[in-house]
């Protein structure tokens, strides 16, 4: 059916995520292109539903388990998703009529499993409505990690780890921060305009721009429209990039005329930022695995007016078609990681990834770092960065690398950073954490190759 409701489209997306390891952003984008009958309000509602269910899935599943006469693990996955959609509206969307949430959930269940499915969903949802103020969440007298896990909707293994490392109070704050909506942050394209000039244009367009606290090129939009409705995007006046991600380029501190190797470069946000900092003068080799990923970089460069980037298809763990050991002044190793610093933007990650992924990625990251080190000129700078918060993927990788490569040393991390970033300098590393500063969680190390 082409004219599906936002709730029906949301169910399709959630079901597809259950069937295959698909990224919700791409599924949402594909759905918005397919169901063009959806109004702007429908699109906003669909987006809120999808990300809301992913963000609060653990909490919703606990409630289902408390009010269903059928054990949770025996409920069919599609019915579980229908219940999640209905419950999210009932528990978290106060402006949505409860009757609409229940009735459409029941209709979706009937189409899936007939009258019996509809009756089951109706029974669970109406039971929750009757006892909404009496939902039996785990009490504080129980294991604190379990309480945080259920109430703040995070996997138990993750909360247990944070409680062990940070304590109960700090872990609660971290999980609460992860459940907030991430701000929409723009990075001014300084090749075409200044931050002040862009903010004035945005204000004239009826938006509410504010300068970011840490990045000198960043702009936060309060109450932004859908990304597809943002003005000046096609003209290339800015890129969409989190503030912490923008600071990685500041730490790299590229200079006009240099040769830069940007490994694992897609989708190209940092690549084009490096080009901006270089005034579009010099050479950047932007490397990634697939032709499709390189297309993203090329498209971003065209939109922003960047002309100095050479995209290269290659595996950063293996020999690359760039001059080895000569000519590369700086390397940006923004390596694949578990992404646990971006849970506000990617709430699905906490349900899809576990400790085994962190350990697997550590091996990949070490392999990439070891290989890239060969291409850096003596005296050059190598910046290692991730958007995760675990020492296995961060400090452990860097320290193991340094123990095997005496020709490298850690360089002061504050080089190139604006002064307000001092709170994020933890010893020899840059570390941000989504806990009140409004930025994603990032880790950055700056290394130099001895002369």
Residues 152 and 248 both lie in one domain: no
Residues 210 and 343 both lie in one domain: no
Q: Which of 170, 158, 164, 176 is nearest to 340 (CA)?
A: 158
In a domain, 31, yes or no: yes
Residues 229 and 295 both lie in one domain: no
With beta carbons less than 8 A apart as the criterion, state whether 79 and 117 touch.
Answer: yes
Residues 40 and 112 both lie in one domain: yes
Crossing angle of helices 40-55 and 77-92, in 10° steps, is 110
In a domain, 139, yes or no: no
| Angle (nearest 5°) at CA 345 between 388 and 129 | 125
Residues 389 and 357 both lie in one domain: yes
Residues 310 and 382 both lie in one domain: yes
In a domain, 406, yes or no: yes
In a domain, 351, yes or no: yes
Residues 401 and 285 both lie in one domain: yes
Read off the pLDDT of residues 166-194 as tens digits, 9 standing for 90 and up. 999 999 999 999 999 999 999 999 999 99
Residues 324 and 421 both lie in one domain: yes
Residues 286 and 309 both lie in one domain: yes
In a domain, 105, yes or no: yes
Residue 244 tokens, joined: 């912490």
Q: What is the pTM of this model?
A: 0.93
In a domain, 429, yes or no: yes
Residues 191 and 275 both lie in one domain: no
Round to whole Å and give the CA distance between 294 and 304.
Answer: 16
Q: Which CATH number does the domain housing residue 371 bear?
A: 3.40.50.150
Strand-strand pairing, 425-426 and 429-431:
antiparallel
Round to whole Å and give the CA distance between 354 and 73.
Answer: 20
Q: Is 387 a catalytic residue?
A: yes
* Helices marked H in 235-285: 243-252, 269-277
In a domain, 1, yes or no: no
| Angle (nearest 5°) at CA 84 between 78 and 86 | 105
SS3 content of the chain, % helix, strand, coil (to 5): 50, 15, 35
- Residue identified by tokens 């419950």 is 87
Based on the structure, what is the number of domains in the chain? Answer: 4
pLDDT beneath 70, residues of the chain: 1-2, 140-141, 323-326, 436
For position 58, what pLDDT does the model report? 98
In a domain, 423, yes or no: yes
For position 36, what pLDDT does the model report? 86
Residues 341 and 444 both lie in one domain: yes
Active-site hit among 10, 175, 301, 387 = 387
Round to whole Å and give the CA distance between 86 and 105.
Answer: 6
Residues 336 and 274 both lie in one domain: yes
What are the residues facing 61 on neighbouring strands? none
Round to whole Å and give the CA distance between 84 and 90.
Answer: 10
- Residue-by-residue DSSP string for 61-78: HHHHHHH-SS-GGGS-HH
Give the range of the structural domain holding residue 68, as residue numbers without chain letter.
6-134
For position 142, what pLDDT does the model report? 73
- Residue identified by tokens 């945080």 is 148
Q: Which CATH number does the domain housing residue 67 bear?
A: 1.10.940.10
């Amino acid at each position: 059916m082409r004219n599906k409701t936002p709730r029906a489209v949301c169910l399709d997306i959630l079901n597809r995520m259950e069937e295959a390891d698909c990224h919700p952003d791409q599924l949402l984008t594909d759905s918005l292109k397919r169901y063009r009958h959806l109004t702007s309000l429908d699109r906003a509602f669909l987006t809120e539903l999808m990300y809301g269910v992913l963000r609060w899935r653990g909490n919703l599943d606990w409630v289902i388990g408390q009010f269903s006469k059928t054990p949770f693990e025996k409920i069919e996955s599609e019915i579980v998703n229908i219940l999640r959609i209905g419950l999210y509206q009932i528990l978290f969307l106060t402006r949505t009529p409860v009757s609409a949430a229940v009735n459409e959930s029941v209709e979706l269940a009937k189409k899936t499993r007939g009258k019996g499915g509809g009756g089951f969903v109706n029974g669970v949802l109406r039971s929750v409505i009757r006892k909404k103020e009496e939902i039996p969440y785990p009490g504080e007298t129980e294991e604190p990690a379990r309480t945080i896990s259920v109430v703040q909707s995070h996997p138990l293994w993750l909360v247990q780890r944070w409680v062990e490392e940070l304590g109960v109070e700090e872990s609660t704050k971290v999980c609460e921060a992860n459940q907030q909506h991430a701000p929409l942050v723009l990075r001014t394209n300084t090749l075409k305009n200044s931050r002040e000039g862009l903010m004035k244009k945005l204000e004239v367009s009826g938006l509410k721009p504010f300068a970011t606290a840490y990045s000198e090129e960043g702009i936060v939009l309060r109450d932004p429209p859908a990304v597809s409705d943002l003005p000046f995007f096609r003209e290339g006046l800015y890129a969409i990039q989190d503030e912490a991600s923008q600071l990685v380029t500041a730490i790299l501190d590229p200079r006009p005329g240099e040769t830069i190797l940007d490994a694992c470069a897609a989708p190209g946000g940092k690549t084009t930022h490096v080009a901006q900092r270089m005034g579009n003068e010099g050479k950047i080799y932007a490397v990634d695995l697939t032709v499709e990923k390189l297309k993203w970089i090329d498209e971003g460069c065209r939109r922003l007016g960047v002309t100095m980037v050479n995209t290269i298809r290659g595996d950063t763990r293996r020999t690359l078609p760039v001059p080895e050991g000569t000519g590369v002044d700086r390397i940006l190793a923004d390596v694949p990681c578990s992404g646990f610093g971006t849970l506000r933007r990617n709430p699905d990650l906490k349900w899809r990834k576990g400790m085994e992924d962190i350990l697997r990625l550590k091996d990949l990251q070490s392999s990439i770092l070891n290989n890239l080190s060969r291409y850096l000129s003596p005296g050059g700078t190598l910046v290692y960065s991730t958007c995760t918060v675990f020492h296995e993927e961060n400090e452990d990788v860097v320290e193991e690398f340094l123990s095997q490569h005496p020709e490298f040393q850690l360089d002061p991390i504050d080089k190139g950073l604006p002064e307000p970033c001092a709170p994020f300098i933890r010893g020899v590393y840059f570390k941000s954490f989504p806990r009140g500063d409004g930025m994603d969680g990032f880790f950055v190390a700056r290394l130099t190759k001895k002369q």
